[in-house]
Amino acid sequence: MTPNVWTRWPSREALGPRGISRPRRLLAWAVRLLVVGALLWSAFHDSHVHGWAAAAGAVGVVVAGALAWALFRTTLEHRLMPSLALLLMLMGLAVGAEAAGLRSPAVVLWCGCAIAALERLPLGAALPAASVGFAAFAVANDDPGTTTAIVVGGMALAGYALRLDAEARGNAQRLLAQERAARVAEAESAALAERARIAREIHDVLAHSLSAQLVHLEAARLLIERGADRRQILDRVVAARGMARDGLEETRQSLSALRGDLTPLEDFLADLVRTSDGAEVTVGGERRPIPVEASQAVRRVAQEALTNARKHAPGAKVSVRLEYGPREVTLDVRDSGGPPGELAQAGGGYGLLGMRERAELLGGSLAAGPDEEGFVVTLKVPV
């Protein structure tokens, strides 16, 4: 046994009434009422007790009940000295009952104190207190020594068994509380993860759509300032309107993705490059369904990379390649380069950071930077 076993209290869950079934509580109260009834009967009908002595015995029973209730409270609060003092008072009351000729109440008090000490006190204090109670019972008992020893041993085992049962119940209560707390934390974590997922979807859709619209609207503004042809300005406005319409469609797709209903990834990329001049898409490897989160990451990175290509290298040829590997999917978006466009400074500048964060959340990686010709964005997502 560990050194602190002698000073360790039974847990408050073990000493409290929580976790005890209703039939068991009713049985415990029935036993207590039976004991109190037997003590009262003994106090009033003992042949050696009459008049004021019987009344004193009845009062003693009430006092013993109050002291026992107080002992329950002090042990529940793990207060050692008050608990020992209450046990001493109960045993003193038993001595008084024995002196008054009330042997049955005295024996019940001595044995009850010993069993309660074994059940509710630290073992270092319970063993001496129980020894005193059992010794007083053995002295007052008229049975042979062997019988008394067997009875004392049985009561000691009963008290320790009650202690073990209470501690097992307390452990079960703590484990149940921990499990409930873990379930609550898991539910909160799942809710936060889902909120973050929805927030990323909304952000990525709006960032892509609004950024594309900003490109065309800013171009229209510059054309107006330069006195350009009305047709050129109208083309830019019409393109911005088309981007707004596409953004609405992407929002609907995102809602479908949140419900787990997505169009094939290859079809999405084909539709995406169809709206971009000079862009083409190729697919390699064995095509297969991939998780929704991985599919959404590929879609959003492709959208952001094409938007950046239109902003920073307008008119450049853009190639999009999707490669299905045995354990990961790779998306490669590269442009042929060219002089920066007039709208290269438009937007918030958080596209690459958002793409990298999305990839890392899935255990993947994103690399972005210039190559021999232009700019390349490579996404790898485990599937």
Give the pLDDT score at 1: 44
pLDDT in tens, 90-137: 888 888 878 777 777 788 888 888 888 888 889 888 899 889 888 888
pLDDT at 71 over 80: yes
* Region 370-381 average pLDDT: 87
CA dist 248 to 245, 254, 271, 350, Å?
Answer: 5, 10, 15, 22
Of the two residues 136 and 45, the one the predictor is more confident about is 136
* Region 374-381 average pLDDT: 90
> Helix axis angle, 103-120 relative to 22-45, nearest 10°?
150
- Give kind and range of the element (H or E) at residue 67: helix 52-76
pLDDT at 382 over 80: yes
Read off the amino acid at residue 94: A
Read off the amino acid at residue 76: L
Q: What is the DSSP string of 322-369?
A: EEE-SSEEEEEEEE---SPPTTTT-S-S-HHHHHHHHHHHTT-EEEEE
Band (pLDDT 50/70/90 cuts) for residue 371 is confident
Kindly calculate the radius of gyration of the chain based on its CA atoms and give it in whole angstroms: 41
**Where do the domains of the chain lie?**
3-142, 264-383
Ordered strands of the 328-335 beta sheet: 279-284, 318-324, 328-335, 375-382, 365-370
pLDDT at 329 over 90: yes
Band (pLDDT 50/70/90 cuts) for residue 344 is very low
How far is the C-alpha of 318 from the C-alpha of 276, rounded, in Å?
Answer: 9
pLDDT at 349 over 50: no
* Region 4-22 average pLDDT: 77
How far is the C-alpha of 200 from the C-alpha of 159, rounded, in Å?
Answer: 61
- Would you say the pTM of this structure is higher than 0.75? no
The CATH class given to the 264-383 domain equals alpha beta
pLDDT in tens, 176-195: 888 888 898 888 888 787 77
pLDDT in tens, 203-245: 766 776 777 788 888 888 888 888 888 888 888 888 888 778 7
Most confident of 75-84, 163-172, 366-375: 75-84
Give the pLDDT score at 324: 92
